[in-house]
Amino acid sequence: MGKPAIITVDDDAEVLGAVERDLRHRYAERYRVLRSASGATALDALRGLKKQNDSVGLLLVDQRMPEMTGVEFLGRSMEIYPDAKRVLLTAYADTDAAIRAINEAKIHHYLLKPWDPPEDHLYPVLDDLLEDWRASFRPRFEGVRVLGHRWSPGSYAVRDFLARNQVPYQWLDVETADKDAEVRHLAKAVGAEPSRLPMVLFPDGSSLAAPGATQLAERLGLRVRADLAFYDLVIVGGGPAGLAAAVYGASEGLKTVMIEREAPGGQAGMSSRIENYLGFPSGLSGGDLARRAVAQAKRFGVEILAPQEAQAVRVEGPSRRVKLADGSEIGCKVLLLAMGVSYRKLDVPGAERLQGRGVYYGSAMTEAMACQGEDVYIIGGANSAGQAAMYFSKYARRVLMLVRGESLSTSMSQYLIDQIKHTPNIQVETRARVVEVYGDARLEAISIHCRDSVQTEKVPANSLFVFIGAEPNTDWLAGVVARDERGFILTGNDLMRDGKRPQGWPLGRDPYLPETSVPGIFAVGDVRHGSVKRVASGVGEGSIAVQFIHQYLSAV
């Protein structure tokens, strides 16, 4: 952790040097001693320190300076570092200025020049002031900070990206600036105009205004471009199935790269708690599972490109070539499709307009703290919705689950049903659905239709989380591999019709269990037709597929 700063300001170089010398002699072990020759440069220095989230403990400033007096400087410094101790250096004849400084700049002390010896006239005063400052000092957060608006889709996208990519960050909501002086002073120091929000502030003092995912990823040092032009195995999708295949493939000698559109972990990575995964009796979060799997994959040499998106595939003899969103291509011997599925969009008036402004898809754990004391609405009745309800119940006043079906038992694990039943602030409404959402800048209300009462009720709402259905993102594969009517990829026996191999199949064997209609292209996990939508089954499919990949490679 960086040391807090002590800043001394004086236009007289000889005096400035003497003050700096005495300060370093006493305080260099615990503080950084910085100097400025004018009030203007010192204010610039303070703004820079604010951007870096550095702490300032004390300002020791001479009164008689051209262009800006010490009193003027200390008054303006309060807009940036209001908690720093303020000390004015005055000549014997400047006692009137010192009294004025007490009233105008709210200084904590004034010292007369000369102060020799410092052991008698300087250090005792500064020791007391710095001790008082440290008593209320909170160590600075040393990671990435996000300055934005709670109801901004851009701010939500940045926070969600950072959370899903396991990047610790501090959220600073400009909406609280009237109540939170720290946010107010930071916003002013960095020039946080509405058009520049959200702003991502880095520990070195640099920042990005309203960044896109790729720009942010590159600044954070995440990998978005492949090292090689050709691999043994390219995996599209970084959920449990893709991660398992990456670990097994790389550990068995295959040069492997994984392409993930958002962040490793997939939908499972957004789960607040998975309690039925083998080997974790106390459960674990989806984020923890993703973090462990990513570390394991990287240890075996897997390249992970995220955020990066596959947009097209073509077959060239024994090679499969994947075109990426940035226009580049990666070739491979084997392609494994593990894209998973996406939550279906809520098709009601207002939903699209308010996405990211109170309407969210998935658990959006980044919003939990902001929901304290509020009512949270969740649409859906499967495990992901149940896990989200349990998580939000720790923060929200009340969690209302809106389920279209007759009960939770048709789509949710019993352990979750039991937990929900025994959580007093979770309320389950079956045979209910949202028919409209309302709001201008943010979600303000929703209309709920109950099939039992045949009534539609409009209720106030700030947060609506949607977990309905599953849609595969496979349109980019149209005309390449066979899919069912919903877009799920057909593999193995599902390709066989009346004992016949799929049309155009060139090999003298049947497709392997996870193999698609194109030899050397495999599919696993939720994107595969007929898959079991569970984390453990995805991991199993991903690991088993590697054995079939080896069999395929041994024959080509």
Q: Which pLDDT value is given to residue 38?
A: 95
pLDDT digits (tens, 9 = 90+) for 106-144: 888 888 888 889 999 899 999 999 999 998 887 778 889
CA–CA distance, 350 with 458 (Å, rounded to integer):
14
Overall pTM > 0.85? no
Q: Which pLDDT value is given to residue 26?
A: 95
pLDDT digits (tens, 9 = 90+) for 56-74: 999 999 988 988 999 899 9
pLDDT top residue among 24 and 365: 24
Q: Which pLDDT value is given to residue 107?
A: 85
Whether the predicted pLDDT of 98 surpasses 80: no
Residue among 260, 257, 170, 262 nearest 216 (CA): 262
Q: Which pLDDT value is given to residue 399?
A: 97
Q: Which pLDDT value is given to residue 1?
A: 52
Q: Which pLDDT value is given to residue 321?
A: 97
**Inter-CA distances, 466 with 149, 359, 502, Å:** 21, 8, 38
Asked if residue 117 has a cis previous peptide bond (ω within 30° of 0), the answer is: yes
Three-state secondary structure call for residue 82? coil
Q: Which pLDDT value is given to residue 93?
A: 66
Whether the predicted pLDDT of 94 surpasses 80: no
Name the percent of the chain lying above pLDDT 90: 74
The mean pLDDT value for 262-287 works out to 87
Q: Which pLDDT value is given to residue 499?
A: 85
Instruction: Tell me if 343 sits within 8 A of 355, measured CB to CB.
Output: no
Name the percent of the chain lying above pLDDT 70: 98
Whether the predicted pLDDT of 178 surpasses 80: no
The mean pLDDT value for 320-330 works out to 96
Give the range among 85-94, 203-212, 371-380, 444-453 with minimum mean pLDDT. 85-94
Whether the predicted pLDDT of 245 surpasses 60: yes
pLDDT digits (tens, 9 = 90+) for 467-506: 998 899 999 999 999 999 999 999 999 999 888 999 889 9
Give the range among 5-9, 307-311, 410-414 with minimum mean pLDDT. 410-414
Whether the predicted pLDDT of 246 surpasses 70: yes
Instruction: Tell me if 419 sits within 8 A of 276, measured CB to CB.
Output: no
pLDDT digits (tens, 9 = 90+) for 281-316: 888 888 889 999 999 999 999 999 999 999 999 999
Sheet with 455-460: strands ordered across: 432-438, 445-450, 455-460
CA–CA distance, 446 with 307 (Å, rounded to integer):
33
pLDDT top residue among 187 and 46: 46
Q: Which two tokens stand for residue 3?
A: 């040391």
Label residue 445 left, alpha or beta by phi (over 0 means left) and psi (-120 to 50 means alpha): beta
CA–CA distance, 356 with 360 (Å, rounded to integer):
6
List all residues 6 or more positions away from 465 whose beta carbon is below 8 Å from its beta carbon: 360, 361, 362, 363, 364, 376, 377, 378, 379, 385, 388, 392
Q: Which pLDDT value is given to residue 234?
A: 98
Whether the predicted pLDDT of 170 surpasses 80: yes
Instruction: Tell me if 244 sits within 8 A of 297, measured CB to CB.
Output: no
Averaged confidence pLDDT in the chain? 92
The mean pLDDT value for 536-554 works out to 97
The mean pLDDT value for 391-409 works out to 95
Sign of the four-CA dihedral 534, 538, 541, 543: negative
DSSP string for residues in 238-253: -SHHHHHHHHHHHHTT
The structural domains of the chain, ordered by start, are 5-135 (3.40.50.2300), 144-220 (3.40.30.10), 230-341+477-555 (3.50.50.60), 359-466 (3.50.50.60)
